[in-house]
Amino acid sequence: MEKLKTVKILKFYPEKCDGSKECEKACSQIHFKTDEGGDKSAIKIIKDGDSYKMHVCDQRGLCLDMCPVGALKRRKNGVIFLDKETCIGCQACVGFCPIGAMRKSKTRIEPFKCISCGACVRACPNGALEDIDVKIDDIKEVVYHKQGA
Amino acid sequence: MVEGQIPIEEYKTGNTKHKWDFNKLNFAHRIVAEYDYKKGEINKGYANRTLYINLESREIKEKKVTEDMKKKFTGGRGFGLKLLWDGIKPSTRWDSNENELIITTGPLCGATQYPGSGKSICLTVSPLKDIICDSNVGGFFGPYLKFAGFDAVEIQGKAKHDVIIIIDGEKGKITVETAPLEETDSHLLNEQLTHMYASEDNDKSRQKISVVTAGKGAKNSYWGCLNFSFYDIRRKVSRMKQAGRGGLGTVFRDKKIKAIVAKVESFTGISNNPANPNKIASVGTKLHREIRDLDRYQCNMRAVGTSHLVEVMDEYDLLPCENYRFGSFPKASKIYSPKFYERFTKIIPDGCWHGCTMACSKTVDGFKVKTGPYKDQKVTVDGPEYETIACGSNMGLWNPDWILEFNFYCDTYGLDTISTGTSIAFYMEMYEYGILNKKRCDNLELCFGNFDAVMEFIHRLAKDNKSEFITVAGKGIRCVKDWLKKNSWGDPLLIDDCGMESKGLEYSEYVTKESLAMQGGYGLTLKGPQHDEAWLIFMDMVNNAIPTFKEKAEALHYYPMWRTWFGLNGLCKLPWNDIEPANNAETEEPTKVPEHVQNYVEYQNAMTGWNITKDDLIMQSERCYNWQRAMNVWMGRGRRKDDWIPYRSMGPVTEVEYLSRKDRYNKLIVEKLGIKEDEVEKMDTINKIKLLYDYRQDQYQKLADAVYFRRGWTPNGIPTPQKMKKLGFTDKKILDMLQKAIDEDDIKGLNVWGGKYKKGEKPPSIDPKYWEKWKTL
């Protein structure tokens, strides 16, 4: 398999966001076939004073080496994907994600995450979200630390 | 090794590859017994039935788990005790036909969200001790046994030929079949059976198999351990964890079991059908985060496993060196954790059950074997854990690769590293004193540090034709003590004091000379000197937090009960206090790790739907703990004399030990025995050793008094019927048996306190038969 070079991640333009959370609704539609957003969305828009912040997976892949059953893989398009058929719901990835981007909703034991599908980008009426390409080598991280670090 | 984000397919161990003709192996199998069962759902952590297999009568049946059984025995080890009580006799010994080998799970076993939730607990009548031994172990077998439909498996009788037992949760079928051609040694047999019984030829299928095996050493010694496999999809190796203590593997092979295979069709994070899965997920995730943030600053388990303890123990004079003579050694830094970190394979989720992010199960892959039948092959060595490394220091093996070799062969031969290492260390000391010599040791120069002799000893153990020495030596320290004394080869007192066993079981690897509470933690136990009941050295010795007998006794009540609780539930103890919340030190009782205790309360409630408190957890354990002690009494043990410990664990036996810590012991004689400093200086060492000897022996007896009193036992260590009733037991058979034993003690005048109380000192109660005043319920 040829080494992957780039992956799409989300870029956020807070100045364009009006907090209507259309992105969250679109995301929960993808993952849970509902437009509830909130806990069922992989992307989160959080109010930050007068502005907004985006909270979502940045595909760094730290979770890959955590999964005991190999349910997490970097796909051909570079995206970290959780196969919920293989997942045994241990929450190791949820607990170890340094930015809390691996999500768990109450409806099922297996977690879920952003798969860079672009639904949120399309759903945003103000163009506050954009898919951008980044080099995997620039973002990738490993969970294992040097002894005594 | 390359760090991180390697696709699973691309991992390489560098191990030697094997090719076997599975058709040929399979073709030689003959079915001995079969049983079809209806697959059922697990309900709130319980499969609600256990599996009974009799290898002699070929009977296989299911036994129902009643609500009363859950209430009184909780699960895991508790269920095992109940099944043994119903299945064996007081005269049952390890090789009796009716002896049982039991593997149990527990209501929390198999959950994936809370780290350390995959333990099995194994029980049997031990060859080393003639009483019940319990040993807990990781690997996938326990969870798979439950997901296949059973809370426990109970095996009675002996097969005529080597058999394997297959618990097939996919088909709902139990099969016992002969297996004449398979390997016996664990690392090979695990691999064979994992491949043979996987539904499809891929890693995903192989991960749904777990195998229990022993090995050639288990058959030929009393130190047999059980290896529980767990298939690692990255290394592509069927790895293993050990139920080490007490000779379980010896019983396993005596029953002619070559292996037990458990297989599941599939499972999910909620296969236990917990009452409240989201609660378990949230408590578990909280702990994952704690481990993520704090482990590297606390125990560093994720990097080096339990090997981090080597340097800690060496620093505090607790690392057993040269048969526990010393607690630290100048060469010890050669086997500190960084030496093993260099060798460990990194980056991998090294939990012995899914979701355990403590990940302490480290391995060295592609290790080139130096001796024996697998010489020059490359293998995966599971471990070494702290205890195994400390066996190295105990035998004077100051080379990490020697320890790895020792570790590998003990595992694959099915030998408990602790019993093997501690015993060899004793034989080495006897060799040093000339009590043993080359001639008496089957031409082996068993002196401290002789790696070649150690390995040769182990290889000979694994062979069927053995010399007198190897045969006796493989039966453990207690047997060798008797053998040495019978031949009048040395001072019997020296032999008894140096051989580190109690109740027939060899000590695990901590020096307890300066901690009275920990001497009790090893001696005043159910199964013998294993630190799974209590580890009080820091609390007692370093922090001096429990100075009085009463306080020590309270600790020897609470901690054994607390630690017993893990075994009732199918849990590992490590995630309780080998990771602590950041603010733990500021809590009222940091040593109990209150936040984690609360986690366990919530966890058990969320699984079972019960509404218990932290006090109820202790009560669950107290029931089983007392039941097991009562069973020891039933089998003719469980008295004060059986709680004897060798003096080596209390203080300096020899001059070299005294002199090596002279200032410490001189000071002690001045402070505790009231002898003036200049007089102590003038005394010769032998006399000082004798003074300390009498003082510390008496301290231990006083501790036993306080502990028995706290536990509601007679001064001779028997649980009283009144105590059993308080715990909710009404079984007339056990209550009458205890009363009878107490009455017999009375006739022999044994219901009196054991300490010598001087003026101003008081025994725990003026009336030694204090329990008779309790109101009966």
- pLDDT by residue (tens digit) across A49-106? 999 999 999 999 989 989 999 999 999 999 999 999 999 999 999 999 999 999 999 9
Q: Determine the Cα–Cα distance for residues A111 and B452; give it in Å rounded to an integer.
A: 52
The region that residue B299 occupies, defined by phi over 0 for left and psi between -120 and 50 for alpha, beta otherwise, is alpha
Residue bearing the bigger pLDDT, B363 or B3: B363
Inside any domain, residue B2: no
B216 burial level (CB within 10 Å; 0-12, 13-18, 19+)? buried
The pLDDT, as a whole number, for residue A144 is 61
> Can you state the percent helix, strand and coil of chain B, rounding each to 5?
45, 15, 40
The pLDDT confidence band at residue B661, using thresholds 50, 70 and 90, is: very high
In a domain, B618, yes or no: yes
Q: Which of A102, A109, A34, A70 is nearest to B6 (CA)?
A: A70
Nearest to B4 among A65, A73, A90 (CB): A65
User: Tokens for B388?
Assistant: 């195994």
Q: Is the peptide bond before B384 cis (omega within 30 degrees of 0)?
A: yes
pLDDT at A4 over 60: no
> Are the beta carbons of B269 and A110 separated by less than 8 Å?
yes
Find the domain containing B730 and state its range.
516-773
Residue B760 has phi, psi (to 5 degrees) of 90, -15
Closest chain A residue to the Cα of B288, Cα to Cα? A95
Supply the CATH number for residue B455's domain. 1.10.569.10
Residue B339, CB-side half-sphere exposure with 13 Å CA sphere: 21
Note whether A88 contacts B112, CB cutoff 8 Å: yes
* Predicted confidence band of residue A148 (pLDDT cuts 50, 70, 90): very low
Interface of A with B in 106-135 (CB under 8 A): 106, 109-110
Contacts of B359 in chain A (CB under 8 A): none
Question: Within B167-276, where are the H helices?
Answer: 186-197, 203-206, 216-220, 248-254
Task: For residue B1, tell me if it sits in a domain.
Answer: no
pLDDT at residue number A143: 64
Q: Which of A90, A98, A146 sits opposite B269 (nearest CB)?
A: A90
Nearest to B432 by CA among B456, B396, B468: B396
Cβ–Cβ of B296/A149 closer than 8 Å?
yes
**Short-list B466, B422, B424, CA closest to B245:** B422
Is B511 inside any structural domain?
A: no
**Local confidence band at B775 (pLDDT 50, 70, 90 cut-offs):** confident
Q: Are residues B487 and B521 in the same domain?
A: no
pLDDT for res A146: 54
Indicate whether B365 and B218 sit together in one domain. no
Which residues in A lie closer than 8 A to residue B296 (C-beta atoms)? 145, 148-149
- B3 in a structural domain: no
Q: How far is CA A64 from CA A79, A103, B356, B412, in A?
A: 11, 15, 15, 31
Put simply, whether B749 touches A (Cβ < 8 Å) is no
Range scoring the smallest mean pLDDT among B3-12, B58-67, B279-288, B720-729? B3-12
- pLDDT single digits (tens) A51-61: 999 999 999 99
Alpha-carbon distance of A10 to A119, in angstroms, equals 11
What is the tens place of the pLDDT at every residue in B51-93? 999 999 999 999 999 999 999 999 999 999 999 999 999 999 9
Are the CB atoms for B210 and B353 separated by under 8 Å? no
pLDDT tens by residue, B434-455 = 999 999 999 999 999 999 999 9
Task: Give the pLDDT confidence score for residue A1 in this predicted structure.
Answer: 45
Q: Which chain A positions have a beta carbon within 8 Å of B360's beta carbon?
A: none
Residues B311, B445 share a domain: yes
Q: Which residue has the tokens 């984000």?
A: B5
Band of residue B776 on the pLDDT scale cut at 50, 70, 90: low
pLDDT value at position A3?
59
B718 and B612 part of one domain: yes
Domain count, chain B: 3
Rounded distance, CA B87 to CA B153, Å? Answer: 13
Examine residue B235 and state whether it is found in any structural domain, yes or no. Answer: yes
Count of A–B CB contacts within 8 Å?
116
Closest by Cα among B547, B559, B545 to B592: B559
Q: Could you tell me if B195 and B311 lie in one domain?
A: no
Q: Quote the ipTM score.
A: 0.95
Determine, for residues B303 and A147 on separate chains, whether the beta-carbon distance falls below 8 Å. yes
pLDDT beyond 80 at B569: yes
From B472, B506, B540, the end of a domain falls on B506
pLDDT of residue B10: 87
What's chain B's average pLDDT?
Answer: 96
- Same domain, residue pair B234 and B291: no
Same structural domain, B602 and B639 = yes
Mean pLDDT across the stretch B424-433?
98
Which residue of A64, A96, A109 is in closest CB contact with B292?
A96
B231 & B297 share domain: no
- At B10, the amino acid letter reads E
Domains of chain A: 6-139 (3.30.70.20)
CATH of the domain at B696: 1.10.599.10
**Residue B631 pLDDT grade (very low, low, confident, very high; cuts 50, 70, 90):** very high
Question: Within this chain, do residues B576 and B687 fall inside the same structural domain, yes or no?
Answer: yes
Please state which of the ranges B71-75, B161-165, B347-351, B394-398 shows the lowest mean pLDDT.
B347-351
For the stretch B359-398, pLDDT in tens is 999 999 999 999 999 999 999 999 899 999 999 999 999 9
Q: What's the pLDDT at A68?
A: 95
- Where would I find the beta strands (DSSP E) of B115-181? 120-125, 132-137, 152-156, 163-168, 173-178
With contact defined as beta carbons under 8 Å apart, do B243 and B122 qualify? Answer: yes
Among B263, B292, B324, where does a domain finish?
B263
Q: Tell me the CATH number at B138.
A: 3.60.9.10
Q: Do B494 and B535 lie in a common domain?
A: no
Average pLDDT over residues B530-548: 92
Chain B hits for A80, Cβ within 8 Å: none
Q: Kindly report the CA angle at B424 between B395 and B222, in degrees rounded to 5?
A: 145
- For residue B356, being part of any structural domain is answered with yes
Of B5, B346, B347, the CB nearest to A140: B5
Among B564, B574, B499, which residue's Cα sits nearest to residue B525?
B564
* Burial state string for B614-653 with b = 16 or more CB within 10 A and e = fewer than 16: eeebbbbbbbbbbbbbbbbbbbebbbbebbebbbbbbbbb
The C-alpha torsion from B468 through B474 and B480 to B486, rounded to 10°, is: -30
Contact status of A74 with chain B (Cβ, < 8 Å): yes
Is the pLDDT confidence value at A113 over 90? Answer: yes
Instruction: Tell which of B455, B478, B506 closes a domain.
Output: B506
The amino acid present at B744, given as its one-letter code, is: E
| pLDDT of res. B316 | 96
pLDDT tens per residue across span B242-261: 999 999 999 999 999 999 99
In 3D, which of B273, B365, B334, B369 has the Cα closest to residue B607? B273
Q: Do B680 and B571 reside in the same domain of the chain?
A: yes
Position A147 pLDDT exceeds 80: no
Nearest alpha carbon to residue B141 among B205, B240, B43, B229: B229
Is the pLDDT score of B2 beyond 90? no
Residue B381 lies in a domain: yes
Q: Is the domain of B336 the same as that of B197?
A: no
**Across the interface, do B347 and A144 touch by the CB < 8 Å criterion?**
yes
Report the residue from A88, A95, A144 with minimal CB separation from B354. A88
Confidence category of residue A149, pLDDT binned at 50, 70, 90: very low
The average pLDDT across B161-166 equals 98
Burial class (CB in 10 A: 0-12, 13-18, 19+), B704: buried
pLDDT, one tens digit per residue, over A9-63 is 999 999 999 999 999 999 999 999 999 999 999 999 999 999 999 999 999 998 9
